[in-house]
Structure 1
C-alpha cells in the first residue's frame, strides 16, 4: 500500500514539474518579440548584411504580419546610420520592387501614418542631446568625441535628433532594429553592447532580447547569434 501511495505521489510530483516547465516555456514564448517585432529583426539584419534576396523575403513577411509601408521605410532609412548609405539605399530599392510586385498581384499594403513635425524652436542638436541622454541614462561624452567633435555633433543632431526624433517608430522598435543590424555585422561589439543597454533602458525585457537572438539564430546565422548572446550575457551581468 505504501509503495502504491509513494508511486502515486511521485507521479503527481513529476506531473507538476512537467506542467511547470511547460508553463515556463509558454511564458517565455509569449513574453518574447511579437510577429511585427520579429519582422523588424530580419529586415534590419538582412539590410545590414546586404543580403537582398533574403531581405526581399523578410520585407514580404513584414508586410504580411502588419508592418506598414512607412514603418518599414523608416527602418531602412535608419539603417544608413549603422551600415552606410549604399546598403540602406539598396534596401529601399528592394522594398520599392517588393511593393510593385505585391501591387501587381492585387495586394494592398497599409501605408501607415507620416512622421509628425519635429518640435518647433528646438535645434536638431538640442533635441538629439535630450533623446540620447534619455536613452543612455546619462549625458554622453568621451575621448572619441573630444578628439573628433564633429562626430559628436552628427550623432546628437542627425542620428538622435533628425532620425530618432521622428515618431513613426517608438524607441523600442528603433533599438530592436539597431541591435539586429549590429549583431549581424562584424567588429562592432562595443556598439552592440551599448545598444543592448539602451534597449533595456527603453523597456525591452531580457526575454525580448533573447527572443531577438533566437530570431537571428533561426534566420541569420548561429555565429552571429552566439556572439550576440555572449555580449548580452556580459551586459546583464554588469547591470
Structure 2
C-alpha cells in the first residue's frame, strides 16, 4: 500500500471469457442485497479525507485517457502522475489492471506510452521512483478463489448473486479468481487507487453507466469520500473531458440516491 492520503499469480490462460471482465464490479449492480448497499466501508481503510492528493488526482485522468486511446493527453497525465509522486510500479499497475475494464489492446498501448514517458524523463535527468512489486506471493487454486471471493464481498458490500450469475455461472469464478484474486491481491497499489482508476476508465466509456454506478459505491466502501469523488468529476471536467465528467456526476448522484446518502 502507498502512504498517500487515506486508505488502502496465478497466471490464467487468455480465455475469451476473461475479456468480459470489463464488466468488473458492474455485473454486481443491483444484485447484492439491500443490506449490502448500506454496509460501511472496509474496516481496513482509514477515515475518508475531504480532498484528493495531487497523486490521486492524476489517476482518473490516466485511466480516462487510456480508455479513450487519447495518447497526447495520456502522455500529459502520466507525466502529471509521476511528477505528483506515483511510482513507476504503481503507474504500471494502474494500466495493467485496466485491461480488465477496457481491454488488452488499450492496456498494451498505454504501457508502451508509459515506457516512452519514463525513458524521455530519464533523458531529461528525472529519476522517477521505481516503486515495488507485490510484497507477497499470490495464492493459487482454491486458496486464490477464497481470497478473491473475500475481496469481492468486501468491495461489493455483501455476497454477490443475481440472475446474470445464474444465467452464466462461469463469470463469477472468473471475477473472483482473476479480477479480485490475481489483481486485487497485488498489494503494490492500494484499493482506493484501484477504484479511482476504474471510475476514471468507466466514466470515459459510453454505455457502462451501470458499472460506473457500482464502482462509485465501491469507492465509498474502500474509504474514498463523497467530496473526493466530486473532485474526480471536477478534475475530469477541468481537463476537457466534459462527457466523462457528466457521466461520473450522474453515476455518483444515482449511487448516493440508491444508498440514501
TM bin (shorter chain): 0.7 to 0.9
Residue aligned with 2:106, SS:
helix
User: 1:230 maps to which residue?
Assistant: 250
The one of 191, 195, 201 aligned to 1:175 = 195
Residue aligned with 1:166, SS:
coil
User: 2:223 maps to which residue?
Assistant: 203
Say what the alpha-carbon RMSD is for the aligned residues.
1.4
1:37-116 correspondence runs (5 A):
37-116=56-135
Number of equivalent positions:
210
Greater helix fraction, Structure 1 or Structure 2: 1
Looking at CA atoms only, which structure, 1 or 2, has the larger radius of gyration?
Answer: 1
Residue aligned with 2:170, SS:
helix
Q: Deviations over 1:27-65 (max 9, x none)?
A: xxx822110001111111111111111101111111111
Contact in 1 for aligned 2:204/2:243 (Cα 8 Å):
no
Distance 1:123 1:237 in 2: 37
Residue aligned with 1:66, SS:
coil
User: 2:22 maps to which residue?
Assistant: none
Where does structure 1 lack aligned partners over 5 or more consecutive residues? 1-29
The one of 145, 150, 175 aligned to 1:130 = 150
TM-score by length of 2: 0.77
Distance 1:131 1:161 in 2: 7
Where does structure 2 lack aligned partners over 5 or more consecutive residues? 1-48
Distance 1:114 1:228 in 2: 31
Contact in 2 for aligned 1:82/1:181 (Cα 8 Å):
yes
User: In the alignment, is residue 218 of structure 1 matched against residue 238 of structure 2?
Assistant: yes
User: 1:32 maps to which residue?
Assistant: 51
Cα distance change on mapping 1:143 and 1:220 into 2, 3 Å: farther
Contact in 2 for aligned 1:78/1:163 (Cα 8 Å):
yes
Choose between structure 1 and 2 for higher RCO, CA contacts under 8 A separated by at least 6 residues.
2
By how many angstroms is 1:117 displaced?
2.0
Contact in 2 for aligned 1:42/1:58 (Cα 8 Å):
yes
Contact in 2 for aligned 1:118/1:165 (Cα 8 Å):
no
